[in-house]
């Protein structure tokens, strides 16, 4: 990553106490995001991607234990006072969640929520804040924005609510937007519209973005770099084109292969990944993907591979037996 690193996540560990023992949700994750860059974080449910985003935002559950360092725009977020953190969140660090109903207040109008955010962080007078709110709603593609100000979230469709949540997130010109499965609850045509909207606003505002998703298809065309997570760890990380051209970690390859292909004939059996992810309350000795991996050998079950750089420093993977076939095909 170039010199203008905006966010760096260093050795972040998140532990959650559960009745069945300690659950390590995030296990020594290192990531960086440059200004204006988009990082895709891909993984299945329970892989720790949401806990990682909450660790960055400092919005973890109260009983969670966090260690490591989160440097954002020159500040160590773990050292900031709650008051300073609150000022930062919404201002330069914004978030859009999967379900807009969890972030929108159901008893306040759209206008109240937008204006409140603007006035909290930017000290605007009522008239300016109202004008800005209308501009923002128009920018995210909401028809008749003046009338929407007086409406409540339940009066809007799911796609429209997500647009409002995005308008609120963008309202104070954040430097980093964390979008946590922003389109998972939406239909495919609305998903395309929302992803286009995020990409357009990101380019226009030169904003950095972390796009968290379970869908490799979503990150392929819309990110600069991708980190693949499995069982709390980043298992592969590479610039997006490099990752899709030359997957090294067997999990990434298996995840892509398991997607139904549009160009395959009907009734073609899918190369499924057998088994299921490990129980996160039971720490494993070896690579956590090894029980499901078709390349696994004895060493994979007893020793944990570190996330190491491949032939280029930008492409990292945690695997003793990375896939080579693609390398030959390219050569």
Partner 1 sequence: MMQQAVSAASGEPLLAVDDLVVEYPVGAKIVHAVSGVSLQIARGETLGLVGESGCGKSTLGRAVLQLRRPTSGRVLFDGHDLTTMQGDALRQMRRRVQLIFQDPIASLNPRRKIGDIVAEPLVIAGVKDPEKREQLVHEVLSAVGLDPTLVVGRLPHEFSGGQCQRICIARALILNPEFIVCDEPVSALDVSIRAQILNLLEEMKGRFGLTLLFIAHDLAVVKAVSDRVAVMYLGRLCEVGPSEQLFARPAHPYTALLIEAIPVPDPDVRPTETVPVGEPPSPIAPPSGCRFRTRCPRADQRCSDEVPELRAVAPGQFVACHHPLI
The binding site for partner 1 (CB under 8 A) comprises 44-45, 141, 157-160, 187-193, 195-196, 199, 214-218, 220-222, 240-241, 244, 254-256, 258-262, 264-274, 276-277, 292
Q: Please tell me the distance from the alpha carbon of residue 262 to that of residue 282, in angstroms, as a whole number.
A: 38
Q: For residues 115 and 235, which CB has a smaller minimum distance to partner 1 in the complex?
A: 235
CA 9 to chain centre: 13
Least distance in Å: CB of 45 to partner 1?
Answer: 6
Strand partners, 38: 209
Q: Please tell me the distance from the alpha carbon of residue 301 to that of residue 149, in angstroms, as a whole number.
A: 57
Q: For residues 112 and 151, which CB has a smaller minimum distance to partner 1 in the complex?
A: 151
**Residues sharing a CB contact under 8 Å with residue 304, sequence separation 6 or more, in sequence order:** 284, 285, 286, 287, 288, 318
* Per-residue tokens: 197: 């909207």
Q: Are 299 and 320 a contacting pair, CB within 8 Å?
A: yes
Least distance in Å: CB of 263 to partner 1?
Answer: 8
- DSSP β-ladder status, 21-34 and 5-18: antiparallel
Q: How many CA atoms lie within 13 A of 74 on its CB side?
A: 2
Q: For residues 274 and 313, which CB has a smaller minimum distance to partner 1 in the complex?
A: 274
Q: For residues 20 and 65, which CB has a smaller minimum distance to partner 1 in the complex?
A: 20
Least distance in Å: CB of 275 to partner 1?
Answer: 9
Least distance in Å: CB of 260 to partner 1?
Answer: 4
Q: Please tell me the distance from the alpha carbon of residue 287 to that of residue 185, in angstroms, as a whole number.
A: 32
Q: For residues 259 and 309, which CB has a smaller minimum distance to partner 1 in the complex?
A: 259
Q: What angle do CA 145, 97, 1 make, to 5 degrees?
A: 110
Least distance in Å: CB of 19 to partner 1?
Answer: 13
Q: For residues 118 and 234, which CB has a smaller minimum distance to partner 1 in the complex?
A: 234
Least distance in Å: CB of 38 to partner 1?
Answer: 12
Q: Please tell me the distance from the alpha carbon of residue 14 to that of residue 25, in angstroms, as a whole number.
A: 6
């Amino acid at each position: 990553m170039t010199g203008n690193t905006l966010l760096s996540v260093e050795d972040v560990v998140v532990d959650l106490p559960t009745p069945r023992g300690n659950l390590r949700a995030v296990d020594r994750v290192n990531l960086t995001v440059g200004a204006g860059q988009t990082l895709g974080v891909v993984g299945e449910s329970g892989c720790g991607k949401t806990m990682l985003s909450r660790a960055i935002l400092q919005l973890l559950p109260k009983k969670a234990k966090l260690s490591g360092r989160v440097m954002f725009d020159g500040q160590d977020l773990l050292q900031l006072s709650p008051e300073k953190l609150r000022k930062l969140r919404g201002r330069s660090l914004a978030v859009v969640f999967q379900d807009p109903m969890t972030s929108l207040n159901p008893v306040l109008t759209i206008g109240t929520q937008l204006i409140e955010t603007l006035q909290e962080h930017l000290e605007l007078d009522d008239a300016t804040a109202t004008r800005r709110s209308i501009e923002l709603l128009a920018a995210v593609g909401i028809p008749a924005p003046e009338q929407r100000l007086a409406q409540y979230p339940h009066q809007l469709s799911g796609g429209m609510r997500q647009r409002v949540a995005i308008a609120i997130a963008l309202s104070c010109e954040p430097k980093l937007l964390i979008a946590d499965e922003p389109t998972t609850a939406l239909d495919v045509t609305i998903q395309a519209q929302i992803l286009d909207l995020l990409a357009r606003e990101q380019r226009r505002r030169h904003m950095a973005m972390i796009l968290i998703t379970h869908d490799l298809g979503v990150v392929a065309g819309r990110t600069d770099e991708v980190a693949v997570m499995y069982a709390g760890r980043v298992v592969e990380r590479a610039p997006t084109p490099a990752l899709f051209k030359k997957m090294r970690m067997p999990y990434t390859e298996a995840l892509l292969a398991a997607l139904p292909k549009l160009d395959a004939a009907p009734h073609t059996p899918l190369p499924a990944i057998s088994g299921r992810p490990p129980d996160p309350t039971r720490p494993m000795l070896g690579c956590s993907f090894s029980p499901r991996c078709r390349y696994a050998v004895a060493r994979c079950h007893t020793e944990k591979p570190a996330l190491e750089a491949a032939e280029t420093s930008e492409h990292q993977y945690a695997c003793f037996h990375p896939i080579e076939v693609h390398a030959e095909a390219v050569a």
